[in-house]
């Protein structure tokens, strides 16, 4: 991405030009935000989504009717997309690992592995940090659920029934940004 070798990156970190940390195992880690800030400061191009590449969207909801409805809504997007639906959290986690969607539309109330557990497992895997997550739930009025979802860094929390235009706007905004939302913008989307 930077067009330089690992030793050059280490020198930038040691000089304080680029923020990074060395793990106890000796591996270097740089957050996406810090990398993009460094790239902007050096005038380097920041990778973005190719507008012709389909956005991969996965819907995880135990209600087949909701899945069908959301899939129809998402297929009306102003950007190319591929949409898949699964009906439980376990299958959702399997599909996430195999398919690597760009966007996850996740229900909270599901039998077996519920949406909050799916969120916890996703956030435990740093390889999934790029995936935008939109939570949809019928229990939007429960502050513990909303707080848990916000703590997991979701792009938005929407009540069921979902307003189609708002869902498409949020997903479009997620895909147009090269970096995750800063906290203040994430909060604005959740309102």
Report which of 99, 59, 66, 106 is spatially closest to residue 83, judged by C-alpha positions.
59
Which pLDDT belongs to residue 88?
96
CATH (one of 3.40.50.2300, 1.10.760.10, 3.30.360.10, 3.30.420.40) for 55-190: 3.40.50.2300
The pLDDT of residue 47: 65
Determine the pLDDT at residue 176: 67
Q: Given this model, what pLDDT does residue 185 score? A: 40
pLDDT values of the chain reduced to their tens digit, one per residue, 191 residues: 677 777 888 889 999 999 988 888 777 888 877 887 888 788 777 666 566 778 899 999 999 999 999 999 988 887 888 999 999 999 999 999 999 999 999 999 999 999 999 999 999 988 888 899 999 999 978 889 889 988 888 989 999 999 998 998 888 877 763 333 344 444 444 44
The length of the chain in residues reads 191
Predicted local distance difference test score (pLDDT) of residue 48: 63
Q: Which residues contact 163 (CB under 8 A, 6 or more apart)?
A: none
pTM (two decimals): 0.68
Instruction: Provide CATH 3.40.50.2300 ranges for the chain.
Output: 55-190
Q: Render the burial of 131-168: b for 16+ CB within 10 Å, e for the rest.
A: bbbbbbbeebeeeebbebbbebbbbbbbeeebeeeebb
């Amino acid at each position: 991405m930077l067009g330089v070798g690992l030793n050059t990156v280490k020198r930038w970190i040691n000089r304080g030009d680029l923020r990074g940390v060395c793990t106890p195992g000796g591996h270097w880690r740089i957050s996406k935000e810090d990398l993009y800030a460094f790239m902007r400061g050096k005038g380097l191009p920041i990778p973005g989504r190719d507008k012709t590449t389909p956005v991969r969207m996965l819907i995880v909801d135990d209600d087949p009717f909701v899945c069908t409805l959301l899939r129809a809504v998402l297929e009306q997007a102003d950007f190319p997309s591929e949409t898949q639906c699964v009906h439980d959290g376990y299958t959702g986690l399997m599909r996430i690992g195999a398919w690597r969607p760009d966007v996850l539309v996740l229900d909270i109330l599901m039998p077996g592995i519920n949406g909050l557990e799916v969120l916890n497992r996703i956030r435990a895997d740093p390889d999934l940090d790029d995936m935008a997550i939109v939570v949809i739930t019928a229990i939007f009025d429960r502050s513990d659920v909303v707080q848990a979802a916000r703590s997991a860094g979701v792009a938005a929390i929407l009540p069921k029934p979902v307003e189609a235009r708002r869902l498409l706007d949020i997903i479009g905004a997620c895909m147009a940004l090269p970096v995750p939302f800063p906290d203040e913008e994430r909060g604005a989307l959740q309102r």
